[in-house]
Homo-oligomer: A and B are copies of this chain.
Amino acid sequence: MSFRAYYLDEKKELQLNLSIADVHAALASRTGLLWVDFCETTEEDGRILEDVFGFHRLAVEDCVETEIHPPKIDVYDSHIFALFHGINHVTESDLVETAELALFIGSTFVVSNHNYPLYSVEEVRYQVETDSRLMQRGPAFLAHTLIDALVDNIRPTIDRMSDIAALVEEAALGEPRQSTLEAILRLKRSVRRIHRTIVPERELLNRISRGEYGIIETESRVYFRDVYDHLVRIEDLNLNVRDSADNALSIYLTAIANRQNETMKVLAIAGAIFLPLTLLAGIYGMNFDNMPELHWQWGYFAVLLVMGTVVLSALAAFWRRGWFRLGRRKARVLHSFAVERALLRGHRESKD
């Protein structure tokens, strides 16, 4: 059996590692607070949930299936069944992955369930084992602690995404590479997925903190409100990442257009300088009998001089039009206000 059970009995003493029989007894006493945590839940565990605890078949199925379910709160007669999502860790195939935590919250018990070990649950387990006061504050507070740990665990992922967003934004300023585009798109997808995870969850927490579910006592609601605030903050950071990714995409796309222009400039400069000169050389390569210039003493050198002059003045003209300027962009310009300052200064001066 893949569960761990904690029981704070009516004498406020904490019992660890209960057997299934102990759980039975604790549940039957209808006092104290029992916490059972199921991990990698099997069909057999499902039967325990159904038979020992008397949970509804559909709720138990949600626990046994490894598939992700939408966040929700179902109200039953003696307990509520809550499903919450966290963002667990960064995988190879995508930046973020959804972690699911199911909670049954009754007046004397909390049953938690997850399909693989969750860092946030481990954290709460450690807290409970070292300090039984956490469980003395009742099932709603324990449930809040589990949800809060789950939600707080989203923060490091978001922070790492913020780092990546800043770096990708900078990379987009350089030479456009396919891999930069892919990093941008992956970031945008992660943002959207986190958004879709957080929004329904936030709504659920809002409803808990407004007191829609009777089993949560009034004094605990403010704690759920606090989790709600954390989610609002995380969503705000998430939208900042989206802004960065959108900016990076805009910069990337104009960088592609700029690169194309640079390619074309190389050709245009070559064409505009050498095509006329080749014609000149071609003219004096003609075989007409009567071409007086060919017999001039310094004709050849005059032509060379004309050619040199043309090349130099053409280069000068292109230089003046700024065709050579591109590519010498300074790094990190995105983070300086040179432009705005220059604009504002020019503006003020023009007023004087």
Contact B173 A69 (CB under 8 A): no
By beta carbon, the residue of chain B nearest A274 is: B275
Within 8 A of B (CB), among A34-56: 56
Contact B69 A229 (CB under 8 A): yes
A162 to B: closest C-beta gap in Å: 12
A201 to B: closest C-beta gap in Å: 13
CA distance A186 to B244 in the complex (A): 10
A91 to B: closest C-beta gap in Å: 9
Interface string of A80-120 (1 = CB under 8 A from B): 00000000001011010000000000000000000000000
A350 to B: closest C-beta gap in Å: 10
A317 to B: closest C-beta gap in Å: 10
Q: Which single member of B243, B263, B284 contacts A192 (CB below 8 Å)?
A: B243
Q: Is A223 an interface residue (CB 8 A)?
A: yes
Identical copies of this chain, number: 5
Q: Which single member of B56, B181, B260, B274 contacts A279 (CB below 8 Å)?
A: B274
> What 15 new A-B contacts, CB under 8 Å, besides A70-B233, A267-B268, A278-B278?
A68-B236, A167-B346, A175-B322, A192-B239, A257-B257, A264-B268, A266-B272, A274-B276, A274-B278, A274-B279, A277-B279, A279-B281, A284-B287, A285-B286, A286-B294
Point out residues on A near B: beta carbons under 8 Å. Answer: 56, 58, 62, 67-70, 72, 74, 90, 92-93, 95, 160, 163-164, 167-168, 171, 173, 175, 178-183, 185-186, 188-189, 192-193, 196, 222-223, 225-226, 229, 232-233, 236, 239-240, 243, 247, 249-254, 256-261, 263-268, 270-272, 274-279, 281-291, 293-300, 303-304, 307, 322-323, 329, 333-340, 343-344, 346-347
